[in-house]
């Protein structure tokens, strides 16, 4: 409250030193509302998937997948950063399960033929990869739950690193929605051999674009937030990519030897 150039705390009535200070120095009461997410909801709307009442379930689903894959910047720029976790999570579950089912099928049918071309060291490293055990019934039954866990853990870690690099201008929900919609390339797991590699690289690219647009931050900050945990926590994805690329190169080399 302002009286004759002096500012007083509305709770204890004592004078406040600075009218912009967040808390009263006498009683500790909060004087200004805490700054909420800095990203305005204006100009952002429901995704076609969330607007399924108008677009229809399948139409909305396909339209969302198409937009995320082809024009991700536009999609995430226009995606609202609030509105609940349920719809994006359901979308991620559907896409994720379709992709992982394909992965299981290729695992069963092809018996992971790349292993034949791996050196023992690379084979040991590949055995630690994500695809191990997908074909087992227990693994398949656990997949939906693991997918939910993965989405929440990935979101938590990404948001934490985004906060560290001062890129989290919207809330946790924005990060969650970006991660959920960014699993769209899991559909590429339908491609045998290289489907997983393609989808993983595409997912990472989409997450970077999504964080940049949803949090209205720079691409550099978004990239650091995405790549820092990957490099820091095991370098697992980078090494998996190296292992798979090495195995593919080795398989081509072996084929060339066979036809010589």
Partner 1 sequence: MRFFLEKKAPNQIEFGLIYGVIALIILGAACWPPILTLAPDCVFKGLTGMSCPTCGSTRSLVYLSQGDIMPAFSMNPLVTLAMIAAVLYFLTTLVALAFDLSRITCTLTHKEKNIARAAAVMLLLAQWAYLTLRL
Structure tokens at 88: 């994006």
Cβ nearer to partner 1, comparing 61 with 134: 134
User: If binding is defined by CB under 8 A, does position 213 make contact with partner 1?
Assistant: no
Distance CA 240, CA 208 (A): 20
Structure tokens at 120: 């023992």
User: If binding is defined by CB under 8 A, does position 134 make contact with partner 1?
Assistant: no
User: If binding is defined by CB under 8 A, does position 194 make contact with partner 1?
Assistant: no
User: If binding is defined by CB under 8 A, does position 6 make contact with partner 1?
Assistant: no
What 3-state DSSP class applies to 23?
strand
Out of 84, 144, 219, 220, name the contact with partner 1 by CB under 8 A: 84
Q: Candidates 5-13, 160-168, 178-186, 204-212 — which segment interacts with partner 1 by CB under 8 A?
A: 160-168
What per-residue string of b and e applies to 58-93 under the rule 16 or more CB within 10 Å gives b?
Answer: eebbebbbebbeeebeebbbebbbebeeebbbebbb
User: If binding is defined by CB under 8 A, does position 121 make contact with partner 1?
Assistant: yes
Distance CA 70, CA 223 (A): 20
**Secondary element (H or E) of residue 19:** none
Nearest to 103 by CA among 188, 200, 179: 188
Q: How far is the CB of 112 from partner 1 (least distance, A)?
A: 15
Out of 25, 73, 119, 132, name the contact with partner 1 by CB under 8 A: 132
List residues binding partner 1 (CB under 8 A): 22-23, 28, 30, 34, 84-85, 121, 124-125, 127-129, 132, 149, 152-153, 156, 160, 163-166, 172-173, 232-236, 239-240, 243
């Amino acid at each position: 409250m302002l009286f004759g150039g002096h500012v007083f705390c509305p709770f204890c009535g004592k004078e406040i030193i600075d009218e912009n200070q967040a808390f009263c120095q006498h009683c500790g009461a909060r004087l200004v509302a805490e700054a909420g997410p800095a990203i305005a909801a204006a100009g952002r709307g429901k995704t076609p998937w969330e607007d399924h009442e108008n677009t229809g379930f399948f139409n909305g689903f396909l339209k969302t997948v198409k937009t995320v894959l082809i024009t991700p910047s536009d999609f995430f720029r226009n995606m609202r950063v609030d509105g609940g976790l349920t719809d994006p999570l359901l979308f991620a579950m559907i896409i994720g399960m379709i992709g992982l089912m394909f992965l299981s099928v290729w695992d069963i049918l092809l018996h992971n033929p790349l292993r034949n071309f791996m050196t023992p060291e690379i084979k040991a490293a590949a055995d630690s990869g994500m695809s191990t055990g997908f074909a087992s019934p227990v693994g398949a039954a656990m997949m939906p739950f693991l997918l939910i866990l993965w989405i929440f853990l990935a979101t938590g870690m990404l948001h934490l690193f985004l906060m560290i690099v001062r890129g989290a201008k919207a809330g946790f929900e924005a990060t969650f929605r970006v991660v959920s919609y960014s699993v769209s390339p899991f559909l590429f797991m339908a491609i045998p051999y290289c489907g997983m590699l393609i989808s993983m690289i595409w997912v990472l690219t989409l997450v970077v674009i999504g964080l940049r647009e949803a949090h209205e931050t720079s691409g550099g900050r978004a990239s650091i937030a995405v790549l820092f945990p990957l490099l820091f926590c095991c370098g697992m994805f980078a090494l998996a990519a190296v292992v798979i690329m090495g195995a593919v190169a080795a398989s081509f080399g072996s084929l060339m030897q066979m036809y010589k």
